[in-house]
Amino acid sequence: MSAEKPAKIGTIPTLLSPDCDKHIAWIKTVFGAQQESLYRSKDEKTVMHCSLIINQGYIFLCDRSTSLEKGGKGKEPEDGGDSTKSRGTVLHLELEDPSPFWKTALNNGATVIESLKQQYWGAEYGSLRDPFGFVWGFMKGGECRKPGVIPYLTLEEGKCQSYVDWLVKAFDGEAKESFPGDNGLIQHCCVKINGGFLYLADDIKMPEHRRETSGVTSNVTSDVVCHLDVPNPKALWEKLIKNEAESVVELKVQFWGDLYGTVRDKMGYQWSMCEAQTCPPNDTTTGGQKARGVISYIVSPDCEKHVQWIETVLGGEVKNKRYTEAKKVMHCVMSVNGGTLMICDRQMDCPTTTTSESSNDVPKDEPPEDQKGFMLHMNVPDPDLIWKKAMANGGVQLMELKQQFWGDYYGMFQDPFGYQWSVLKSE
């Protein structure tokens, strides 16, 4: 696996798992997946979102009950919640050597659907079902193998070509290849969407696992949601709705801070979309490169107001903000003066923000004892402008901004939240 994080392109499968913690552990064991992030509910009992890096791509998981559909309750499958199959979707992997992954999967509770062997179309391929009901396809790929986990959608007979046409129209996709059978049905088709790939088929003579997961209709909820990170989810959302998709989760800024929504297309497949993060070059959030040096992290008594103050006085720009279920800021990344500043609410239940039982009683205009003696410094071309804005917005002078005895034009002030800042005129 590459040390650099891959880009979030293409269609990323999101698994609505019946037991997300165990499912994550299984995928890590079998594929050596690397956990990028994991967010839990406030009571720590359920996984709201987990991002895993696998085969130089991504797969997302959450507990099925955490779906935002219908007020936060997941829509149960028509079989009453027994996840014995992943309806209409196979999780396809193209690997240099699938054998060791295949063996590890079988040793960890997976069951064979189709043996890993040389198939009639020329590739070494096999499929199995994991202990949580999801079907995985393993294919030996050459130098041109595609990275990540590719959703392989299986449709009712005669539906594939019209669905491909719909995908091309709705997502500005590109049909890359198609292999029709003698009966006119599609044995395999590849569509390029959002810089990545989606596979489809509707031939009833395909392997057993694809036959049993076909027959998806508009009233069936799949346990796999196709996710897209895109620059403009609002435009995509409007285009999908215009093309007969129905809203499942309203596109809006969700409680965790992202612009996110979900639709169900005319074939019954669900698509989620999120605004792709645009980060400064040295940001530490997903999408940017890891920052160098030491990044200041403010643990604020009122993060939302503090962020607004930094925007107004220092010209800061929010690049990424995530919330807890209680609407507290869990993590915020800002670009300030060409660098990165991080900030979160002090009330967060973590050791770094509560030093004693009385920590939450610290006055808002004074940081806790362990943060005194800490100063945020900026070299700027026009410190007078920042100084005037700071004083006009509740700042308190600590050291007059003037030519100091050591030769620099320098001053210090305290913001309304108790944190000390210094500004120095840069050459």
Query: Domains of the chain: which residue ranges?
Result: 12-275, 297-425
Mean pLDDT value across residues 166-182: 91
Residues making up the chain, counted from first to last: 427
Tell me, what's the pLDDT at 247?
A: 95
Under the banding of pLDDT at 50, 70 and 90, the label for residue 114 is: very high
pLDDT band at residue 406, thresholds of 50, 70 and 90? confident
Q: In which band, very low, low, confident or very high, does the pLDDT at 340 lie, cut at 50, 70 and 90? A: confident
Q: Which helix (H) or strand (E) holds 240?
A: helix 233-242
Spatial contact of 257 and 343, defined as CB atoms under 8 Å apart: no
Task: State yes or no: pLDDT of 86 exceeds 60.
Answer: no
* Residue 141 pLDDT level (bands cut at 50, 70, 90): confident
Q: Indicate if the pLDDT at residue 222 is higher than 90.
A: no
Terminal Cα distance for the chain, rounded: 45
Find the mean pLDDT for residues 264-288.
66
pLDDT number for residue 211: 41
Residue 38 CB neighbour total at 10 angstroms = 16
Pick from 12-16, 20-24, 120-124, 212-216: least confident: 212-216
H-helix or E-strand containing 410?
Answer: strand 409-414
What mean pLDDT comes out for the span 320-340?
Answer: 83
CATH class of 12-275: alpha beta
Distance CA 196, CA 320 (A): 24
**pLDDT tops 90 at residue 128:** yes
Q: Which two tokens stand for residue 286?
A: 């997903």
Q: What is the mean pLDDT of the chain?
A: 81
CA dist 228 and 192 (Å) reads 12
pLDDT class for 256, splitting at 50, 70, 90? Answer: confident
Question: How far apart are alpha carbons 124 and 161 in whole angstroms?
Answer: 26
Residue 203, pLDDT score: 74
DSSP helix/strand/coil, 415: coil
Average the pLDDT over 6-22 and give the result. 93
Which residues neighbour 254 within 8 Å (Cβ) at sequence distance 6 or greater?
A: 68, 260
389, pLDDT greater than 90: yes
What was the pLDDT predicted at 319? 82
**Residue 212: pLDDT above 80?**
no
Q: What is the pLDDT of residues 43-77, one digit of tens each?
A: 778 898 999 999 999 999 999 876 555 433 334 33
- Check residues 339 and 42 and name the one with the higher pLDDT: 339
Higher pLDDT: 63 or 207? It is 63
**Is 354 a residue whose pLDDT tops 80?**
no
Does the domain at 297-425 match CATH 3.10.180.10? Answer given as: yes
Same fold, 12-275 and 297-425: yes
Q: Is residue 258 pLDDT above 90, yes or no?
A: no
Compute the distance between CA of residue 378 and CA of residue 385 in angstroms, rounded to an integer: 13
pLDDT at position 324, please?
A: 76
Average pLDDT over residues 373-400: 92
pLDDT at 347: 66
178 within 8 A of 164, measured Cβ to Cβ: yes
User: Rounded distance, CA 210 to CA 207, Å?
Assistant: 6
Q: Read off the pLDDT band of 219 (50, 70, 90).
A: very low
Q: Span 375-396, mean pLDDT?
A: 93
